Structure 1
Amino acid sequence: MRLQREDFEILKVIGRGAFGEVAVVKLKNSEKVFAMKILHKWEMLKRAEVSNHGDIWPYRMAQQKHPPP
């Protein structure tokens, strides 16, 4: 089952950036709380940053260790 944005309740926005925001969310029908990065795709495309930096994100994510030591 793939989760969608609609599966979460936004509790509080904790940060905003050029391409979106970060919110504290709760999974509906659960007490689990997460941080969700919500990207505004249209804003990203308007600024044409995706073509310049689009291939860096997967590389950086692959380098991360979850959970951190």
Structure 2
Amino acid sequence: MIREWRAVEGDLSREHQVTGPELAAMSTRRFLTLISTLSGEARFPRAWQSTPRRVDSPDEIARITGIPAQ
């Protein structure tokens, strides 16, 4: 998320009228709620989907890929 912070801040400002100081003081719960309600036009969800992740757990790999763990 840190890598895409400009997209996060821009999306929250554009879609929810959140200012920088408000974002800095925001609770985690509120932040996650606002992020989860971003529209399909928002930049952050697209950037997040294309961000590679390191996954070590066979169960997590199965969940992401849809291929059952063996």
Instruction: Give the TM-score of the pair, scaled to structure 1.
Output: 0.21
- Higher alpha-carbon Rg: 2
1 or 2, which has the higher strand percentage?
1
Q: Which structure has the higher relative contact order (CA within 8 Å, separation 6+)? A: 2
